Amino acid sequence: MEENILKKISFSAIQPSGTPTLGNYLGALKNWAALQEEFNCIYAIADLHALTVRQEPAELRKRTLAAISLAIACGIDPSRSLLFVQSHVHTHAELAWILNCWTPFGELSRMTQFKDKSQSHADNVNAGLFDYPVLMAADILLYNADVVPIGNDQKQHLELARNIAVRFNGIFPDVFRVPEPYMPKQGARVMSLQDPAKKMSKSDPNPNSYVSMLDDRDTIVRKFKRAVTDSGAEVRRGEGKDGINNLIDIYCAACGKTPDEVEREFAGKGYGDFKLAVGEAVADVLAPIKAEFDRLMGDKAYLEKVCADGADAALGVSSRTLRKVYKKVGLLQIK
């Protein structure tokens, strides 16, 4: 990672929980590469966080490598940004324990995602599921991140990280940098192709409801042809036209056009023509990413080198923070 001291530090993490959808890409991942122009970027594959849900070991290892490959295929440059696997850097788990001792139980019990995930994983409500916001705070604070790009669903967790940093600094001054939320340029909010009233999700039991970033062209086009619209025929935004509104938003994001331009382009044409055009535009956007992903997955030696180099660099940075914390809290250190 070539660090520019004039740039602020940005930290982002993604779990290796399966192939992201078109919604994940247009809403967030597309911005990750662009952030490299503005910030010194740190990107972690958060495999420790993934353990809050039962994992099949071989599959988790495969998905972790796939997440590294997909990040690079989306434009993250390991020579410009710090890219690593969370479990390869032991300081994350170590700092999380220290921060646990400075985090009130009541603060964690108010985390809404714990309540939501406890309902969806009622057979495995483990301590990690309750406590993972503290690990998330450790992820961020280890690297003195100035900003953390977030969506609306992550505001509460970042606020907890800020509270932990402020509380710790109040007892032991000038240890942590207090991160600020960073709201990137709003990406497209992509809704389900079969139920446009809800967000596109890879956990949807209906595979026609979402487009995976690694779907092939025929699959992508077929899914858009089957997309739910309404009883009208005119390609125009409107109240109660959630399906066509969603497709217009996707087409705009894929082609860089405005909704007004799209409506003029398809004036006099029907939904069938428009669905085909949206599918082909999305396929054009995802095709080079999939091609680069496939190439990278065939070069395991390169991926292992990226992981090793990233882990070494991340450990070097994060160890400085951890040593400072250990000294402040009174842990005996040896040279």
Catalytic residue among 7, 8, 199, 328: 199
Residues 181/147, Cβ–Cβ less than 8 Å: yes
**Gap between the Cα atoms of 213 and 30, Å rounded:** 11
CA distance 133 to 2: 29
* 117 a catalytic residue: yes
Q: Is 199 a catalytic residue?
A: yes
The tokens 């324990």 sit on which residue?
Answer: 97
CA–CA gap between residue 181 and residue 335 (Å, rounded): 37
Rounded to whole angstroms, how far apart are CA atoms 311 and 193? Answer: 39
| Residue among 8, 202, 225, 257 flagged as catalytic | 202
| 269 classed as catalytic | no
C-alpha torsion 176→335→330→102, nearest 10: 40
Least Cα distance to 286 among 226, 235, 219, 228 occurs for 219
Q: Which of 259, 234, 241, 153 is nearest to 196 (CA)?
A: 241
Residue whose token pair is 């989306």: 74
- Of the residues 117, 223, 241, 275, which is catalytic? 117
CA distance 205 to 270: 29
Instruction: Give me the residues paired with residue 114 across strands.
Output: none
How many beta carbons lie within 10 A of that of residue 141, not counting itself? 26
Nearest in space to 189 (alpha carbons), one of 16, 303, 3, 28: 28
Q: Which residues are catalytic?
A: 117, 199, 202
